Amino acid sequence: MVTVWKLKGKVTEDGKLDIVLPDNVPSGEVDIELQVHENLDTDETPFTQKELDELLTYKPFASGEEFIAHLKTLDLSEFAHI
């Protein structure tokens, strides 16, 4: 029989997993699955605020021809399986 426990933990800077187990967890072998949550509050944010503002600004195409020309510049290979 398998009992599943959903617990919170923290990975430390030195690569250790800190977790507190409930008292009634039996001793023995376990399988561990990690769901790592990215911290976007660091200096490693992929975009600056200026870049985000620019990306989120609506810029309509002047014509259908301009839109078609833009589509031809895109690499749509990742969608080929759809």
**CA gap 7, 20 in Å, rounded:** 8
Which of 33-37, 38-42, 57-61 shows the lowest per-residue confidence on average (mean pLDDT)? 38-42
Q: Taking residues 34-50, what's their average pLDDT?
A: 72
25 within a domain of the structure (yes/no):
no
59 within a domain of the structure (yes/no):
yes
Q: How many domains does the chain have?
A: 1
Which of 6-10, 20-24, 74-78 shows the lowest per-residue confidence on average (mean pLDDT)? 74-78
75 within a domain of the structure (yes/no):
yes
Q: Which of 36, 30, 44 is nearest to 11 (CA)?
A: 36
Q: Taking residues 47-69, what's their average pLDDT?
A: 89
